[in-house]
Amino acid sequence: MVMADLDNLETYETLDRQRMLDRIGELPVLCERAWEMAMNFSLPDHFSQVDRIVVLGMGGSAIGGDLLSTLAISECRVPVLVVRGYTLPAYVNDRTLVIASSYSGNTEETLACFEQSLRADARVLAVTTGGRLRQAAEQQRTPVLLYDYKAQPRAALPFSFLTVLCFMQKLGFVADKSADVRETVGVLRQLSATLDKSVPLVSNHAKQLAQELFGRLAVIYGAGGVSEVAHRWKTQVNENGKAWAFYEVFPELNHNAVVGYQFPGELASRVQVLMLRTPDLPDPVKLRYEITARLLDRAGVAYRVIDGKGSTPLSQMMSLVMVGDYVSYYLALLYRTDPTPVEAIDYLKDQLAHSRIRSNIKNQNAK
């Protein structure tokens, strides 16, 4: 396949029919909006009297909980856990704050765990645009933060991340992050201006990285506060780029993944490793980046190191999120595909729905 021309503006008009690039460029504004909404949202005082925080979600709605858990781990006095699936862990009880996050409000796994949380007498709140989650929360008189943003769930990340971070600040679990958010918004605005489609390939880091990923298997490495940013990159390459991708985390990957560089030998030239890094990583972890780079060189595997921007963990995290969003977007265009639709996911949901209908009919006939 011949790559599309990323410097030809007609490429964007032809392929980006639902304007995903606009959604990516709106990230700074969405961060401001999400933070302001959460700051103006009232929470019951007793929500602070818990032993753990559990975020329910799937896909683009769950990644906010992942980012939150890595950002808060150094200062939050209680664990922050993310639950993906249909079954609520047995440790959820009346001393647990459960945050159900679903863009559509109709995510069946999240709804199932939401109902189980109510039965477990947990302290529950919801973050959604509506759907069945809104209805269930309002029926149970459970606090629900409603936002209105028309996009794919993965593009609404600030509403699943910064809103919950703000809640944790208001409940006293983390320090005031208002200044960090302001810095992050400024960093994102500056960064977006350098990565936009109008910036030519020769000066556009995201376009260059996308070209390096074209025709290759993307493997993203992260550590510490950006370990889950690597996860975000993986899912964005999948959903935007419609391409295979995997992620690994330092230092764990040094105990297994590095041994796997050897076979199959023909794969080495078809893999691109992207190592996400921040300046606040412990020195032993920084050293592991350097040694791993040498191992990749020895194995003939291409790699790049990408550093976060800004002076705070939040800005470094979100700047790398934005770079990944742009890279995955440009990768989709290189493959001459629209980055917005997720046809395989839509097909899966449709098949699940039809299977349930058939099962219900069968059960009714059996009666």
Q: Which of 10, 13, 255, 367 is catalytic?
A: 255
101 by DSSP, 3-state: which? strand
> What is the b/e burial string over 340-356, where b = at least 16 CB atoms within 10 angstroms of the residue's CB?
bebeeeeeeeeeeeeee
Distances (CA, A) of 34 to 117, 147, 148: 25, 8, 10
Q: Dmax over Cα atoms in the chain, in whole Å?
A: 68
| Residue 349 known to be catalytic | yes
Please confirm, yes or no, whether 177 is among the known catalytic residues: no
Nearest to 234 by CA among 171, 324, 147, 332: 324
> Alpha helices, DSSP H only, in the chain?
9-15, 20-25, 27-39, 59-72, 108-119, 131-139, 157-170, 178-195, 205-213, 227-239, 283-299, 313-334, 343-366
In the numeric block, which tokens belong to residue 186? 């400024």
Compute the radius of gyration of the chain from its Cα atoms.
21
Q: In this structure, are residues 231 and 63 in contact, taking their beta carbons and an 8 Å threshold?
A: yes
- Bridge partners, 272 (sequence order): 218, 302
Q: Which two tokens stand for residue 237?
A: 């390459």
Would you call 46 a catalytic residue per the annotation?
A: no
Question: Which backbone phi and psi does 119 adopt, to 5 degrees?
Answer: -70, -25
Q: Tell me which of 109, 183, 228, 239 is the catalytic residue.
A: 239
Q: Catalogue the active-site residues.
A: 239, 255, 349
